[in-house]
């Protein structure tokens, strides 16, 4: 599979957005626990979860990760050194002043929260200082958002569809967003650590 080479001189990453659906927990178990205590960026994770129940993901990953894991509240600053999980039944947006915004606007691609909404707003807020990871999923939600991250100068990395529990989302993201990287979860983990300062020398 051909991907676009990453630029040799790249802007520093200030935030990471991760979108996933079916099969998300296993994928996130590879990516999130290795993040270092010295994490200097914001990591914002959106998983399609039931709108009728509280999400168990923050508690689940707080027990496994070295950095704080929480859900944001409306107008809260997007603090670095934290893993943020989108709450159920709200769109999660990043405003230009780098604060969270929660919205009850209509679902996008049948989803609320929507990966597209998060990615597109983060692309506006962070431009080339954004890294977007598209993981396993069984819908197209995330494709146009990933394309917007790419258009805004950010880095887009997609899980190799052949390794995904649900290959539809990563396959569509590869074809629609021209990602700079397509790889296994281990390869995406290495890329993530490189950009947040946790790669081994």
Q: Which residues are catalytic?
A: 21, 48, 141
Half-sphere exposure of 23 (CA within 13 A, CB side): 19
Label residue 185 exposed, middle or buried (CB < 10 Å: 0-12, 13-18, 19+). Answer: buried
**The three-state (H, E, C) secondary structure of the chain, written as one string:** CCCCCCCCCCCCCCEEEEEECCCHHHHHHHHCCCCCCCCCCEEEEEECCCCCCCCCHHHHHHCCCCCCEECCCCCCECCCCEEEECCCCCEEEECCCCEEEEECCCCECCECCCHHHHHHHHHHHHHHHEEEEECCCCCCCCHHHHHHHHHCCCEEEEECHHHCCCCHHHHHHHHHHCCCEEECHHHHHHHHHHHHCCCCC
Cα torsion 111, 115, 116, 122: sign: positive
């Amino acid at each position: 599979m051909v991907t676009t080479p990453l630029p040799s001189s790249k802007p520093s990453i200030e935030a990471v957005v991760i979108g996933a659906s079916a099969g998300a927990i296993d994928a996130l178990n590879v990516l999130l626990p290795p993040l270092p205590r010295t994490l200097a960026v914001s990591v914002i994770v959106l998983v399609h979860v039931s709108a009728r129940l509280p999400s168990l993901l923050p508690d689940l990953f707080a027990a496994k990760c070295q950095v704080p894991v929480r859900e944001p509240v409306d107008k809260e600053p997007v603090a670095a050194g934290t893993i943020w999980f989108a709450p159920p039944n709200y769109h999660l947006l990043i405003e230009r002043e780098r604060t969270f915004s929660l919205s009850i606007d209509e679902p996008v691609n049948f989803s609320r929260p929507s990966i597209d909404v998060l990615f597109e707003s983060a692309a506006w807020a962070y431009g080339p200082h954004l890294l977007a990871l598209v993981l396993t999923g069984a819908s197209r939600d995330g494709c146009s958002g990933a394309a917007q991250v790419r258009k805004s100068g950010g880095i887009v990395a997609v899980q190799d569809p052949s390794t995904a529990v649900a290959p539809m989302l990563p396959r569509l993201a590869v074809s629609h967003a021209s990602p700079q990287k397509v790889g296994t979860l281990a390869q995406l983990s290495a890329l993530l650590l490189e950009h947040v300062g946790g790669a081994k020398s």
